[in-house]
Amino acid sequence: MFESIDLSLVNWSRAQFALTAMYHWLFVPLTLGTTFMIAMMETIWVRTGKPEWKTMTKFWMTLFGINFAIGVSTGIILEFEFGTNWSNYSWFVGDIFGAPLAIEGIMAFFLESTFIAVMFFGWNKVGKKFHLLSSWLVAIGANLSALWILVANAWMQHPVGTVFNPETARNEMTSFWEVLFSPVAINKFLHTITSGFVLSAIFVIGISGWFLLKKRHIVMARKSILVAAIFGLLSSAALIITGDGSAKQVARVQPMKLAAMEGLNDGIEGAGLILFGIVTNNEDYPDNDRMKKIAMRVEVPKALSFLSYADFNAFVPGINDLIDGNEKYGIMSAHEKIKRGKVAVEKLTIFKDARKNGDTQKAEELKELLISDDFQENYFKYLGYGHVNDTSFLIPNIAITFYSFHIMVMLGFWFVVVFVLALWYLHKGTLHKQRWFLWLSLLSIPLAYLASELGWLVAEFGRQPWVIQDLMPTTTAVSNINASSVKITFTLFAIIFTTLLIAEIKIMVRQIKIGPKHEEKGGQK
């Protein structure tokens, strides 16, 4: 399919980036949510003066600090990989992609890292209110950091606010605000951070449940569960709302991803939402192993149409509609997009050759064509298709996308049950007697991490083969390096990250077993 491209290099580069991203995301969600709960607990301490709230604050702050320290290292490596493994991508979009990442480092990370020192070491050195302010600024900084990274990722999913410069062969930003306030970016940011809030709430409830099982630190555990359950329930409501918004954006700008999420081969009006199904091979497509079908399905009639387009009878395109086109619903075929993409690649190549050969007149004529609104709208927007020869390449991995999406949703609703039951048993005063529930809460911690990782699998596997939707496939984004180098670093990173993860878990478990240190009355000035 891509004769001049080393597919081994592409696959290993993707694997290395996925490895780094997934390990990094094991640390980030806990940071996003625990900081706000810590700030809430400290706020209650400042207002009431009750020492148990300061004890709680310091205990959860310690666990946050362990997680934060290890998470930073994986995040730094992740950003370096854009230059080492994906230099063609970095060149093509550096002017756009680099801006939010630079802001993340200059504004959000510096804000977070500056006040985290006060947060950890400022007890009895600064006043209560200033220390409390520092805790809130760390929480805000952590989530602002996520904002800029997610804005960059959202642009890859739906590129807006940019124009292509044929002279430099780069995309250049025309509207920073359009990039920042893209509906895709807004929904991605809100959905991602609220998923982190839910994970953090489950973490606090699970650990507190363990204390109740061991009959230790009863007061702290009960109050921690109260804060986490309320925070988690509110976050779950926001998560559902932002998830609905994200689904509508996916239906609008990434219909192939939506089709993969639901295993929808043929488009239909009044499409049902699958609650459960099993992905199997599709014997109707013996020459295309990417096509699958969903067996033993259980679905809600017309729900997918409503959730996608706010219309129970709306047409939801399937994979075949997006590959072969559907004239009735105005869907252009992938074959036509490939044809137009090849025109864009050809004209750009001719322009570069004209400049290289000193043919100024021809180069200027082609430049005018390339930057014209008509060419940008009808040809350049399909530039990435110009590197595709087989339409099956445009179909993402249906099994991974389908299962990841549905398991993630089921787990999300389970967490709502956990929060509701925790509040109910607290209200009834019988939480400490519900040992089955306390064990389930503890066992839900790894499920929260699983759901969080599955969300990213949906987002990233569902948009394949694109690094930038419709503009750049993964096959053209990689650096011109030896695949063996990537294999070596992949192995090294796998060993290092696994070691860090094991070390973090051991340190966290040890700290949890030690438990909180009780505060004497008085304390901070």
3-class SS letters over 110-122: HHHHHHHHHHHHC
How far apart, in whole angstroms, are the C-alpha atoms of residue 70 and residue 505? 11
pLDDT of residue 2: 41
With bands split at pLDDT 50, 70 and 90, how would you rate the model's confidence at 519?
low
With bands split at pLDDT 50, 70 and 90, how would you rate the model's confidence at 4?
low
Nearest CA to 274 out of 246, 322, 238, 307 is that of 307
Asked whether the beta carbons of 186 and 436 are under 8 A apart, the reply is no
How far apart, in whole angstroms, are the C-alpha atoms of residue 340 and residue 334? 10
Enumerate the β-bridge partners of residue 165. 170
User: What does the CA dihedral 455, 457, 459, 462 come to, rounded to 10 degrees?
Assistant: -140
Place of tokens 């011109």: 480
With a cut of 90, say whether residue 410 has pLDDT above it.
yes
E strand residue ranges, 238-341: 268-269, 273-281, 292-300, 315-316
> What is the CB-side half-sphere exposure of residue 75 using CA atoms within 13 A?
20
pLDDT of residue 296: 87
Q: Work out the burial of residue 297: count CB atoms within 10 Å of its CB; fewer than 13 is exposed, 13-18 middle, 19 or more buried.
A: middle
Q: Are strands 466-468 and 273-281 parallel, antiparallel or unpaired?
A: unpaired
How far apart, in whole angstroms, are the C-alpha atoms of residue 150 and residue 162? 17
Question: Tens digit of pLDDT for each residue in 442-487?
Answer: 999 999 999 999 999 999 999 999 999 999 999 998 888 888 989 9
Q: Which two tokens stand for residue 291?
A: 């096509």
Question: Tens digit of pLDDT for each residue in 254-271?
Answer: 999 999 999 999 999 999
User: What does the CA dihedral 52, 53, 58, 62 come to, rounded to 10 degrees?
Assistant: 100
DSSP state of 168: T
**Interval 29-50 mean pLDDT:** 93
Q: Pick the more confident residue, 205 or 293.
A: 205
Enumerate the β-bridge partners of residue 295. 278
How far apart, in whole angstroms, are the C-alpha atoms of residue 278 and residue 273? 14
Question: Tens digit of pLDDT for each residue in 41-93?
Answer: 999 999 998 999 999 999 999 999 888 877 777 777 877 888 888 888 888 88
DSSP state of 518: P
DSSP string, 62-117: HHHHHHHHHHHHHHHHHHHHHHHT-HHHHHHHHHHHHHHHHHIIIIIIHHHHHHHH
pLDDT of residue 100: 81
DSSP state of 520: P
Asked whether the beta carbons of 249 and 158 are under 8 A apart, the reply is yes
DSSP state of 284: T
Place of tokens 């209200």: 427
pLDDT of residue 524: 46
Q: Which two tokens stand for residue 256?
A: 């192939």
Q: Which two tokens stand for residue 49?
A: 């003066």
Which strand (E) or helix (H) includes residue 429? Answer: none
pLDDT of residue 437: 95
How far apart, in whole angstroms, are the C-alpha atoms of residue 135 and residue 116? 7
Name the maximum alpha-carbon separation found in the chain.
84
pLDDT of residue 520: 46
Enumerate the β-bridge partners of residue 67. none
Q: Which two tokens stand for residue 319?
A: 């994979």
Nearest CA to 194 out of 234, 137, 224 is that of 234
Asked whether the beta carbons of 135 and 42 are under 8 A apart, the reply is yes
How far apart, in whole angstroms, are the C-alpha atoms of residue 101 and residue 146? 10
Asked whether the beta carbons of 372 and 330 are under 8 A apart, the reply is no
How far apart, in whole angstroms, are the C-alpha atoms of residue 482 and residue 493? 17
Mean pLDDT of the chain: 90
Question: Tens digit of pLDDT for each residue in 212-230?
Answer: 999 999 999 999 999 999 9
How far apart, in whole angstroms, are the C-alpha atoms of residue 239 and residue 112? 24
Q: Which two tokens stand for residue 208?
A: 């507190």
**Interval 207-213 mean pLDDT:** 95
Interacting residues of 284 by C-beta distance below 8 A, sequence separation 6+? 291, 293
**Interval 159-173 mean pLDDT:** 86
Residues in the chain: 525
**Helical ranges in 388-480 per DSSP H:** 398-428, 435-461
DSSP string, 316-343: E--HHHHHH-BGGGTBPPHHHHHHHHHH
Nearest CA to 260 out of 83, 408, 399 is that of 399
Nearest CA to 201 out of 23, 512, 418, 54 is that of 418
Asked whether the beta carbons of 226 and 204 are under 8 A apart, the reply is no
Question: In this prediction, what percent of the chain has a pLDDT beyond 90?
Answer: 62
Q: Which two tokens stand for residue 503?
A: 């070390």
Amino acid making up residue 193: I
With a cut of 70, say whether residue 518 has pLDDT above it.
no
- The pTM of this model reads 0.91
DSSP state of 254: -
Q: Which two tokens stand for residue 456?
A: 């990213």
With a cut of 80, say whether residue 40 has pLDDT above it.
yes
